[in-house]
Chains A and B, each alone.
Chain A
Amino acid sequence: MSALLEIEGLEVTFGGRTAAVRGASLRVEKGETHCLVGESGCGKSVTALSVMGLLARGGHRFAKRMTFAGTDLLSLSDRRMARIRGNRMSMIFQEPMTSLNPAFTVGSQMAEVMTTHKGVSRADALERAVDLMRRVGITAPEMRLGQFPHQLSGGLRQRVMIAMALMCGPELLVADEPTTALDVTVQAQILRLLASLKRDFGLAILLITHDLGIVARVADRVSVMYAGEVVERAPTAELFNSPQHPYTRGLLSCVPVPGRVRRDRPLGSIPGVVPRIMPGFAGCAFRSRCSHADATCEREIPRRAAGAAHDYLCRLRAGEVIAPPPA
């Protein structure tokens, strides 16, 4: 497989003071579902936004390499980037209630994406919109075309967003916590939908989430982020079966697994919060919360391999993290 999206050494700073992402590296293969997990404030969303070139005011990105299907995104002009955005890679957001423009009908918003990028007629674009809406499980799509966003429920809106993101047949879909704002039944439907779209369209999905249940369900490969770094990368099964980084282990111990978690003991938790990282910080960012931390954690941390496609960022060798996750 060849990489569709490859990011190496991504750094994002806001106003030069806070480092939101510090040297994150990420590789999304063609047609895979890649999950980016981590707790709030660890830089997941900022990473995704910087891929789209959508950083808030004052945000700056630097990277050693950032390529999309062989195209260097860093040197791309704004106009050529705009041609890729929405066309070859698109994005769906966390909050479906505010992601659609309240002033226009669903149909005109969907058609516009395609008439802009592909130069097709409005009628053809509307036809494709109806097809896709049916594909993402919207009943009576012809009727929905003429409706305004406020007439749709949250689940419907997220489906419309997904259909809109697929209008131009993108190769990569960036989904920033697409199910967080939805209730669990709708959540399951949307996840199933994403999985089937990936299968049918050969779509690569970069899914950002903090829900390990979602990761286990849909991901092919996982990157765990902590404090702006990707601390562990592995195929999903391998990550769940033999997590190496103490942070990954800590995360997994927070999830109850029937049969494995003892009922009479409290569920695991990671003490403390993600520290605010100042420029010039060195060493392991997790050391303030890690039970294995010692003085060597303040030095440069090596990236160690734990398998063919599995690596992690820790001074400990694979298997050295023997202490059971705090449970």
Chain B
Amino acid sequence: MSAPVAVRMAPTSRVGMAGFAFGLAIVGLVVAAALVGNALVPQDPFTQDLGNRLKPPFWMAGSQPEHPLGTDQLGRDYLARLVYGGRISLLIGIMTVITSGLIGITLGVLGGFFGGRVDDAVLFAITTRLSIPVVLVALAVVGLLGSGLVLVVATLGLLLWDRFAVVARATTMQVRTLDYVSAAWCAGASTPHLLIKEILPNIASHLAVVATLEIALAILLEAALSFLGLGVPPPLPSWGLMIAEGKDYMFFSPWVIMIPGVALFILVLGINLVGDGLRSLLGTERLA
């Protein structure tokens, strides 16, 4: 036996916790805006008003009180579009992660649990997936099949499952050798029971962290695709699309790309902060 050593707790520093709280606040705000925002903003995100094109936001001269964030090149209210766009970004992020999570977690858990040939097949699938350039394939698919919300979600979902699979596989391998899995087997549990009730709940914390990071990635990718004109089709106001539509006017009306750009940056930052906070809160020490 070695001498007793003080056990260092997980480094949940004050800065880290403040970041987590900040991230939660941002994500909470965007979620709330996405859910009820358009009921609170009086303007409609689709109504055009060509007489009031490119009105500046409230902090600049010449702004109008009924358009606090100004209007775009077709005179549509920018705040209403921003709020509506947030809904689309979140929807795409979450739907993509549900799709990719289902694929990745299933593959990873099966590979990690059964090992052998199954694991070889899963590893092959992961390597194959990693060798595919996401943006190029997404561009090709959307270019061939046309753009649309469902298509963007499906494409991203089918392409972003690799991290889920890698993490699920590694953590499953660790958990499956633990005694409580053997004990459950000895108690007569079936393989599906072992996978769903013994393995999954005990790797869930790791997967939650991956999920937050993947949501942020999916939102960024959707913005990139929309910017290239291959994401959600106009007139739906995705943040990426708003930047794309505004880029012709950026020299004289910089706010039309600044506002959605800043919104995108803050949302992704918030989600990543939540992910980091979750990681240090849940930690890996629960596995031991």
Contact = CB atoms under 8 A, between A and B. Distances in A.
A69 to B, nearest CB: 16
A95 B177 CA distance: 13
Interface stretch (A20-28, A29-37, A84-92, A269-277): A84-92
Given A85-B188, A90-B187, A104 B201 contact: yes
A68 interface: no
Contacts of B201: 101, 103-104
Interface centre among B182, B188, B198 (most CB of A within 10 A): B188
A94 B198 CA distance: 19
Given A103-B201, A104-B197, A90 B186 contact: yes
Contact of B187 (A86, A98, A103, A104): A86
Given A101-B197, A104-B197, A82 B190 contact: yes
A302 interface: no
Contacts of A116: 187-189, 193
A54 B187 contact: no
Given A86-B187, A117-B188, A102 B182 contact: no
A98 B188 contact: no
Contacts of A316: none
Nearest to A167: B187
Contacts of B286: 102
Contacts of A102: 180, 202, 286
A312 B182 CA distance: 33
Contacts of A90: 186-187
A86 B189 contact: yes
A130 interface: no
Contact of B183 (A57, A82, A93, A117): A93
Contacts of A104: 197, 201
B115 interface: yes
Contacts of A112: 197
Given A84-B188, A85-B188, A113-B188, A91 B202 contact: no
Interface in B86-117: 115-116
A93 B188 contact: no
A164 B189 CA distance: 13
Contact of A54 (B180, B186, B197, B202): B186
A95 B179 contact: yes
Nearest to A165: B187
Nearest to A110: B187
B178 interface: yes
B185 A85 contact: yes
Contacts of B116: 57
A91 B188 contact: no
A52 B180 CA distance: 15
A164 B187 contact: yes
B185 A99 contact: no
Contact of B198 (A85, A87, A101): A101
B184 interface: yes
Contacts of B198: 101
Nearest to A174: B186
Contacts of B115: 57
A100 B202 CA distance: 12
Nearest to A117: B188
Interface in B179-218: 179-180, 182-190, 193, 197-198, 201-202, 204
A83 interface: yes
B185 A54 contact: yes
B183 A91 contact: yes
Given A98-B178, A102-B286, A85 B183 contact: no
Nearest to B287: A102
A52 B190 contact: no
A93 B187 contact: no
Nearest to A101: B180
Nearest to A97: B179
Contacts of A103: 201-202, 204
Nearest to A88: B188
A207 interface: no
B202 A87 contact: no
Given A57-B115, A101-B202, A86 B186 contact: yes
Contacts of B202: 101-103
Contacts of A95: 179
A94 B188 CA distance: 19
A203 interface: no
Nearest to B190: A82
A116 B189 CA distance: 8
A174 B188 CA distance: 14
A164 B187 CA distance: 9
A276 to B, nearest CB: 22
A117 B189 CA distance: 9
Nearest to A116: B188
Interface in B158-177: none
A67 B179 CA distance: 26
B188 to A, nearest CB: 3
10 contacts: A52-B185, A93-B179, A93-B183, A98-B179, A98-B180, A99-B183, A101-B180, A101-B202, A103-B201, A174-B186
Interface of B: 115-116, 178-180, 182-190, 193, 197-198, 201-202, 204, 286
The 6 closest A-B pairs by CB, nearest first: A86-B188, A86-B187, A103-B201, A91-B186, A85-B188, A99-B179
Interface of A: 52, 54, 57, 82-87, 90-95, 98-104, 112-113, 116-117, 161, 164-165, 174
Given A54-B185, A86-B188, A100-B183, 12 more contacts: A82-B188, A82-B190, A85-B185, A85-B188, A86-B186, A98-B178, A98-B179, A101-B198, A101-B202, A102-B180, A103-B204, A174-B186
